[in-house]
Each structure stands twice: as C-alpha cells, then as structure tokens.
Structure 1
Amino acid sequence: MAAEALTTIDDETLAKFRSAAEASRDLVSLGALAQYLSDIGQTEEAEERFKSALASVAAPPDTPWALRRAYAHYSGGLAVLCEAMGQVERAVTLYEHGLAAHPECPTCLGNYPLVLQAQQRPLDEIEEAYERALRVHPRLISVMLKYSLFLRHRRASVDRAEAILERALEFEPAHADVLATYAVFLHAVRSDDPRIEDLYARAAAADPRCVNTLSNFGLYYSEIARAHDKAKAKYDCALEIDPAHANTCYNYAVLLESTYDDVPAAVAMYERAIDAQPNHAYALYNLAVLMEEKIRDLHRAETLYRTAVAASPRDALANADLGRFLARRRIEAADANFDEAKHFLETALDVNYECATAHAALGEIALFLKEDVRAKACLRSALKADAKNNAATRLATKMRELEHLRLQRDNPLPR
C-alpha cells in the first residue's frame, strides 16, 4: 500500500491495518505500515515495524527478486528515519544493504548521495552516487534538484548546476519544484535574468499553496524587481496560508522597515518570525539593530544581540555588532573593561577578517584608551574592508573631531 493512500486513514482503519500487518508478519505489510507510521511522525513504532519487516525475510541474495525489491525500498525507508534521528552511520549501512539487494532501488539511490554529504565524504564519491542514481533513473526529478544544489554549493560549478536544471525543466516543464528551484537558482546567481519572474509565476500557478515559492517570489519583487507592492502581496498570500512561516515574516519585516519605514509593523513581523522560530538569527539580529537605533530600547537590544550570537555563534556580523554595542556601552560609562566586547569583535574577525564593523569597534576602543596608533590602524582596516561602513564612518568622524580639538588646544588663537 502506497504511503499516499494511507495519509487520510482514521484511527479505526489504522488499527485494522496494524492488526492485519501483525497477523501476516510479511515484509510488504509490515513495511507499508512502518512507512505510514514514519510519514505521520510515529517514529518509535515505525522503527520497530521497519526492523520487523526487514527481519521477516531471508537476507539477500537468497530472497526472491520481488521481495528483494521490497526489502531495498523499506531499507531505504528505515534509513530515512535514521537520518531524521541523527543516526547517519546506520542510515549509510541501510542504504548500502538496500542497494546490494536491489541495485536499482530509487529510494536508496536517490537518498544515498545526501547521507554521504552528511558524512562529509569526498566530493568525488558523492558525485558518483548522484551520477549512478541518474544513470539508472534519468528522469528522477528529486535527485536532479538535489544534484544541482550539490554542484552549485559544493562543487562551485554554476554552469553544471544550471545544465541539470535545464534537463529537469525539459523533462517536467510544469513541475512546481523544478520551476521554483530554477527561479531561486537564477535569483541567486544571475539576478538580472529575464526568466526569473516567469519561472516564479509558473511555479506558483503549479502549486498555489507552496509558501516557500510565494515567499521567494516576494523576495524577488522586493530585492531585484523593486516592485514593493507586489512583494507585499506575495508575502500576504504566503502568510495567509502559513501565518507562522518564519522566513516570510522575516523578509516581510525587512521590507516594512527598509522600504516603508513602518517601524511598529516591522517590529511585529520580526517578533512573529522569532515566535515561529526562536533561533532565527537574522530576525533576532535585525530586531536588535532596530531596537538600538530607532526605538532606543538598549536593554532589549542587548538581549537580542546576545540571543542572535547564541543562535549563530559563527556569524561575523552578529558577533561584531554585539561587540560594538558592548564597547559603546562601556565607553559611555567611562568603563575601560572591554574584555567581553573584544572577545566578540575578535571572534567576528576570526570568522571574517574583512568585517569592517569589528575593525571599527576595536578602533573606538583604542581611541578611548588613547592608543592613537592602534586606532588609526583599525580605521585603515575598516575602510579597506568597506569604505561605506557606518561604524567606520563614525570612527573616522570621531577621529577628525579629536584631531581638530587637539590642534585647537596646542595652537590657541592669539588674544
């Protein structure tokens, strides 16, 4: 029984299905029950049913071909479950057992490259797994889309990634996932491509309730097309379907703040994103900046900055702005204890030495400590990283003002 046929069964039907599977104790019945339980999130029972299903037949190659095929499929099903539970090594073993039983199993072939990626296996090994899957099943769309992401992000091969997407689109010109993935790809790597809007529109038409597509379409209108009212309309549609979609809330908040200067609405939308996803580092960080610069709620700003760093400890800008914020509070209090601020600023530079905000904040600390040579070096580094950075510009202005005061002090006008 296919998983799709089981998704709407009621408790009574499930109980009958469970009883029938227990009575038969055969691979297909137990495996189908396990797959359904996995699909509805009953992980513990699903795992036990998968194990019982696989144990119900002789180990391949002694199993008849039809059962080998089912054995491979349900090995793949248990492997997917193991991946979700963080048991990557076990998942690898299950996929390999499945492929040994039935080398053409689409479930195992399609998912095996992803588990190799999770293990950080050599790129050539991962790529061979993708190529093997597509040699056996050339039109396996889900594998093609995953392969294109691998080629783009892990191989840094934009042209090869696009070629895979072109092939997928040729096979399935109305497939919502293909259209949406290609639109996102072009949006990211070639934002002036005239096909992007059409691809998003076709993807949304193919699956009108796909929130990710609507959200990304809104981001395209906001960032690239600069059609802000259209962006709002797409975000509204997405949130009507899923009011707690964190990325949509975040992107909408950015639009409300940066384009419409609607601070209360932006705050509410950032908070909505954080409620939906408490560790949403970007929403935490942006709301912290807004609290500091526009609302002047410094206590809440500090809390948000700290939470953003906790959510994304290796984010350079989050560390830099927390360090900058703490340094400024110390300077305003005439407190020379900058140890904590320096820790976050140095972490930012360790992640990204070109972080202008971190260089500039270290320059402000040096200036306060009257370490002028150090302050000038920090300013040079900040301006080299980003000549338009606000923190760098502020430091340069402060240094000019101090230099002007020194000149006045050392060269007073004659009476």
Structure 2
Amino acid sequence: MLYEQQPAWLTTRPLQPTPVPTRSAISFLADADRLLLVQDYEGAMSAYREVARLEPDNPESYTAIADIQLMLRNFDASFAAAERAVQIAPEDPNALASLSRILDWRSEYELSIQRGLEALEYAPDNPKVLAVLGEAYSDVRNFPIAEKYLADAFEIDPNNVLVLRNLAYLQEMQGEYEEAIRLYDQAIAAAPNRFDLYLEKGRQYEVGLLDLEKADENYTKAVELYQSALTLDAQGYGVYNLGDPFRAVNILRKAKAADPEYGLARVHLGMAYYALRNYEDAVPELEAGVKLLGDEARIEHIYSLGLAYIYKEDPECDKAIPWLQRALEIEPESGPALDGLARCRSS
C-alpha cells in the first residue's frame, strides 16, 4: 500500500499569536513631543521613562523629566531625575545644567554654580548652560556676571525660551518689573502654551506692580492652559488678594482636590475660610497646610491657625497656644500672636 505524504505547507500548524512590533525609542520620543504640545506632562514623562528603559545609558530622557518636574514645581522628583542623568553621563552639559538649575531652585547656590561651571567647561556655547548660570548668579545677586552669561546665551539663541525667561527673571530680581514683563511676553511668544510663564508674569503684576487685576488675568490664563493644584492655587490666592474670599474658596477647593498634599493650596484655602470667619473649616486646612509646608510656612499662616482655634465656636486655647508660640519664635513682636496669647490667658 502506498501512502502519500502531505507537503509540509499543508500540515496543520498550531495557531501562533500575531507578533507585536517592538516600539523604538524614537517613537516614544515622538509621543513625548506630541504630548508636551497638548500640556499632557504626565503622559510625556511616561514616554520619556520608556525611552530610558530602552536606552538606559542615554541621559536625555532623565534630563527632560528633570526639566518638566521643575516646571511643575516637583523639586524632589526633578532633583532625582537630574542626578540620575549626571550619574549616567557625568560630562553631559545638558544633564549638568539641569542638575545645576534644580540645585539653584533648592537654594543650594554654591553647588548649583559649581555644576553649571562644570557644564560650561564641556560646552561653552550651550545656551541652556549659559542661561542656567545666569539664573543662579541672579539668585546670589551678582547681576553683572548674570547679565554677561545671559547676554552670551541670547546672542547664540535669541528665541530660546529658557534664555528669555531667565533674562526676565534677572530684571525681576533687580526690581525692573515692567522690563521683566516685556521679556516674559517674549518668552510666551516663543512658547505660548507654557503655563508657568503666565504664572511668573502674573507674579510681576501681583508682587512688583501691585496690579491685582492683571495678575488675575495671567493666573486665569495659566489655569486655562494647565489645570493643576499649582495653577489653581495661584489663581485662587490671587482672587483672595482681590478681596473675594467666596470665589477664592471655590477655586482653592479645586486646587485641594487636584492635590491634597499641595501645602500652599491647603493653607490658602484655610486663609480664605478665615477671612469668611468660618473658623471651623479654617482650622483643618491651615493645620494641614502648615504641616505640609514645614519650614516654608509663613508667620501669618502660623498665627492665623492659632487664632482660628481661639475664634472657633468652641475655643481651644490648648491647641492655639503652641502655634502662637511658634509664630513668636519667628517674630517675637508679632502683634496677632501676642494678642491671641493674651486672649487665651484672660479667658
């Protein structure tokens, strides 16, 4: 008997899963660029983390994450990413510049300038390096050197957003608020979707020129571009300073919902409740905010917490006194703190 053997191509084969193409680092970088354009910063950082997974010896993804986290005011996360970038590539000027900048924002000025000068040795014509050095020297109030670095950076790349922003910051540090606004406008023209530039421009109006209406316009624009605890807090506290604590409470509640661990939003919400004489709601917000802020809590936050305990429907002087005493440690002649202690002692 003859048996005919089937050709191999007729033999039944087990079904195999359809192979999934492996994505490249370049495709994730394209994702990050696209997400940054629509202000999806978390999505962009996720894409950069995928790049880091695929290219563990490339510092660029960590440098990008460090810069985004700094823009979001997440200082610890920014420092960790910048430090990792420098560990991977100790001589990379952009990584060193990112580390220099976050050190500056953490008030570690000497170390910041050291890292910036190291970067300058490797890339003397790098506008990011020059701009970061200009910012650090502005913070230590060495304005002639700051101006020299920033002028060099501007000559190399006059449309660089960081260069323009730091030129504005130099003017702000010297009290030239109108010139700072002009330069912030140039930075915004180069990067119209950068919410942080509107926050900083708003600060010029609020703190420098005392134009609270203009400040509110810029904070509102920042929220339109990127709604977060950071932007909502700036808008809400600006409205509080405009004298509308009712509206401020509504905005600051949104800031708290966006990030309950954002100390400024909690303390500002407490201040708004305090202005409305809603001391019962002021106490937990002020207390949470002061604890989250730690050493960055301001004296008015601290004594307002103490006074809120006193002015509650059921006063709690035992809880008020430690906060009032803490305020007096900062400023021994603080009138509100002294008045609060006197009220407790007379009750």
Do the structures match in fold with TM over 0.5?
yes
Q: Distance in 2 between matches of 1:190 and 1:272?
A: 35
Q: 1:279 to 1:149 in 2, by over 3 A?
A: farther
Q: Secondary structure at the match of 1:169?
A: helix
Q: Distance in 1 between matches of 2:194 and 2:65?
A: 24
Q: 1:349 to 1:120 in 2, by over 3 A?
A: same
Residue 347 of structure 1 is matched in structure 2 by 326
Q: Distance in 2 between matches of 1:82 and 1:194?
A: 30
How far 1:174 sits from its partner (Å)? 2.6
Residue 93 of structure 2 is matched in structure 1 by 106
Contact 2:29 2:51 in 1 (8 A): yes
Deviations 1:131-151 (A, max 9, x none): 131233123222233323333
Q: 1:162 to 1:321 in 2, by over 3 A?
A: farther
Deviations 1:29-49 (A, max 9, x none): xx7689789965168765554
Q: Distance in 1 between matches of 2:125 and 2:166?
A: 16
Q: Secondary structure at the match of 2:46?
A: coil
Q: Distance in 1 between matches of 2:107 and 2:220?
A: 39
Aligned counterpart in structure 2 of residue 134 of structure 1, from 107, 111, 120: 120
Q: Distance in 2 between matches of 1:142 and 1:132?
A: 13
Output aligned runs, 1:218-237, within 5 Å.
218-237=202-221
2:108 is aligned with 1:160: no
Q: After the TM superposition, which of the residue ranges 318-327 and 298-307 deviates more from structure 2?
A: 318-327
Residue 204 of structure 1 is matched in structure 2 by 188
Residue 341 of structure 2 is matched in structure 1 by 365
Aligned counterpart in structure 1 of residue 308 of structure 2, from 305, 308, 325: 325
RMSD of Structure 2 on Structure 1 (CA): 4.2
Q: Distance in 1 between matches of 2:198 and 2:289?
A: 26
How far 1:354 sits from its partner (Å)? 5.4
Q: Secondary structure at the match of 1:208?
A: coil
Q: 1:367 to 1:291 in 2, by over 3 A?
A: closer
Deviations 1:4-47 (A, max 9, x none): xxxxxxxxxxx5344xx7xxxxxxxxx76897899651687655
TM-score, scaled to structure 1: 0.60
Residue 307 of structure 1 is matched in structure 2 by 288
Q: Distance in 2 between matches of 1:112 and 1:280?
A: 23
Q: Distance in 2 between matches of 1:217 and 1:247?
A: 15
Contact 1:76 1:98 in 2 (8 A): no
How far 1:76 sits from its partner (Å)? 6.2
Q: 1:139 to 1:303 in 2, by over 3 A?
A: same
Contact 1:316 1:347 in 2 (8 A): no
**Match for 2:305: what amino acid?**
L
Q: Distance in 1 between matches of 2:303 and 2:149?
A: 39
The structure showing larger relative contact order (alpha-carbon pairs under 8 Å, at least 6 residues apart) is 2
Output aligned runs, 1:55-70, within 5 Å.
none
Deviations 1:44-101 (A, max 9, x none): 76555445xx5xxxxxxxxxxxxxxxxxxx15656887998979899868735634xx
Q: 1:166 to 1:275 in 2, by over 3 A?
A: farther
2:86 is aligned with 1:95: yes
Q: 1:282 to 1:95 in 2, by over 3 A?
A: closer
Contact 2:94 2:129 in 1 (8 A): no
Contact 2:65 2:81 in 1 (8 A): no
Q: Distance in 2 between matches of 1:180 and 1:212?
A: 10
Unaligned runs of 5+ in 2: 1-19, 33-43, 70-75
- Across the two proteins, how many residue pairs are aligned to each other? 309
Deviations 1:275-319 (A, max 9, x none): 33323333322322221232x322211121112112212214222
Q: Distance in 2 between matches of 1:119 and 1:199?
A: 24
Residue 181 of structure 1 is matched in structure 2 by 166
Aligned counterpart in structure 2 of residue 195 of structure 1, from 146, 156, 179: 179
Q: 1:163 to 1:277 in 2, by over 3 A?
A: farther
Q: Distance in 2 between matches of 1:227 and 1:91?
A: 37
TM-score, scaled to structure 2: 0.69
**Match for 1:270: what amino acid?**
L
Query: Structure 1 vs Structure 2: percent identity of aligned residues?
Result: 18
